[in-house]
Every structure is written in C-alpha cells, then in structure tokens.
Amino acid sequence: MGIKVTGKRFINIYKHTYCLYMISLIFMIFTAVGFGGLLSTVLLYPALYANSSNTPWDLAFTEMCLLLISFFLALIIQMGKDDRLKHQIAAGFLFAFASAQLVFFFYRLRELGLFYDLGLYTIRVGCRDITLNGNPIERYEYFRSAIYTKRDCTFNSFVETNMNGGNLSDWSDYRTYDMDLLGVARSAGSQEIEIPKYHHVWYWGCHKICTDRYDINRIWMYNSILLCIAYFAMATYYYVTRPEDKKSAKKSAISPAPFKLRLKI
C-alpha cells in the first residue's frame, strides 16, 4: 500500500522528531542531575533518632524515586517508534508527578512555618508552633528574646512565665531533641506529666542558628516547586506533541501537494 507524503510534511516530521529527541534528552539530563543531587542530600541528612519520623527526608527520597521514573519515561519516548500511546502514558505520569510535587511544596511551606510568615495562615503550626508540643526555640523567642548566636541556644522555655528558670538545655545539640526533658521542665515549675520528644524540630531545621538542617530544608522546598514546574512542562509537551492516530494520519497523508515522495509501507 502506498502513502503519499508531501515534501513539506516530510520536513515537518523530521523537525518534530529532532525536537522531541533533543527536548527529551535535555529532560533526561535534568532528571539525572536532580537524582544525583537529591541522592547526595539524603545520604548526608539521614534519620538520627530511633523510632522517629524524618518527614522531610522521606519527601526528598520520594522525589528522588519520581526523578528516576521520569528518566525512564523520557528514555522510552526516545526509543523505538514515535507512538501516541507512549506520549499519553508519559504525560499522564508526569501530570501526576507534578501534582505530587505541588503537594510536597505546600506541605513543606506549612511545616517550615512559611505559611504563617507570609500571612497566608493565621494559626501557628510546624516550626512556628509555640505550644508545648511544638517548637521550644520558637516558644523561647516568642516569650523571651530572639536568638543571635549559638550561646543563646541554651535555655529553658517550658514555663512561659519562668523562662530560663531551672535547668537549661543546649538546643544546638541534636541529642537534646531526643532526651527525656520532663525533669528539665519540672525544674522550671512545670506541672506537665509528659514532655514530647522534639525530633521534628531538628529534622525540619526550624531555626537557622540552633539547628543544622535549616538550609537543606529550604533547598528541598525550592526543589519541590522546580520539579513541579518541570514535570508540568514536560507533561504538556508530550501530550501536545503526541502523534495523530492512524486514521487521521492516513487522511492527512493522502492530501495532494506539489512535491511528493512515495514511501512504501
């Protein structure tokens, strides 16, 4: 069966294939670099406490897995015949990944207290939580004074009317966040019967001076929105550039044109 293809259409097909190849290749390089970057961070910032939930690390690890899947999706698009179904599947996955990344981004904003800082949320949550179960550093700065040096990270903030009363704890030491601090709280006059562990404060890097993970959590946050944009852009591109179905391709291929090539199928 012979199908007539115009010279102009042949050139357009070539341009489309070349453009698809180059953009997919760039995306593969992007995902590979992103995967390597995230891998280095998850290795450098593991969980430190037994039976603890290192949520920001979990999100970064999930993002790393999504990058790996995205790399192979782009590789599949590169390999073999340009197929409509392949484009649709890749676009579907990438739209889902973009949605997940957007959720991760907003979740990070909430837990880092940036929703509150930006005035988008009136309730103190995450790193801005000043309750007993929240962030003891934020509690101290709210009821007493700001912290400017590592020396200022040694305090007792369990009783708001008796700040720095009783025994003091060094909140620049990661081990403090895993200690049983009931005795410290009682020394300041607290009547609490249980004091929680503050693993989440260290993991989220809730203070620039007193915790070591402040910067990496912001890098992860910016990375989340960057990946969201990249996935959405590639999903849109793959969907828009999906080949025509066979029936439509046949109809457009047999239209007359001045210059014709005859391809045998």
pLDDT at 112: 97
Provide long-range contacts, Cβ within 8 A and 24+ apart, for 205-208: 205/56, 205/112, 206/112, 206/113, 206/126, 206/127, 206/135, 206/137, 206/138, 207/127, 207/135, 207/137, 207/138, 207/147, 207/153, 207/171
pLDDT along the chain (265 residues), means of 10: 46 60 91 96 95 95 97 88 86 97 97 93 94 96 95 96 94 97 95 95 97 97 97 94 66 50 47
pLDDT at 9: 47
Q: Where do the domains of the chain lie?
A: 2-113+229-264, 136-197
pLDDT at 235: 96
In sequence order, the 6+-apart residues with CB closer than 8 A to the CB of 189 are 159, 162, 165, 166
The pTM of the full predicted model, rounded to 2 decimals, is 0.84
pLDDT at 97: 98
